[in-house]
Amino acid sequence: MTPEIVSAFRKSSFSDQEGDCVETAATATEGTAVRDSKAVPVEPCLFFEAGAWTSFLGALKAERL
C-alpha cells in the first residue's frame, strides 16, 4: 500500500538551479516520499520508512566526510 503524502514537496538544498532536483515530502506513516521534479507526474515517488530514510541520509553524510 502506498503511504499518503501529508506535506508539500520541497526541493533539496543540494539541487542545482537548472531544474535538476530531488524533492521530498512527509508521509502519514512518518516516512519520506522522494521524487525527481523533472519526472513529475509521470514517474512514481519512492517511499522510505522513517528508519530507512535516516540510515540513507547518514550514509550520504558519511560519504562526504
Instruction: Please indicate whether residue 2 or residue 50 has the higher confidence score (pLDDT).
Output: 50
Give residue-wise pLDDT tens across range 15-65.
Answer: 766 667 889 999 999 999 999 887 777 678 999 999 999 999 999 889 875
pLDDT-based confidence at residue 12 (cuts at 50, 70, 90): confident
pLDDT for 8: 93
pLDDT for 36: 87
Report d(CA 10, CA 22) in Å as an integer: 8
pLDDT for 32: 97
Contact 23, 3 (CB under 8 A): no
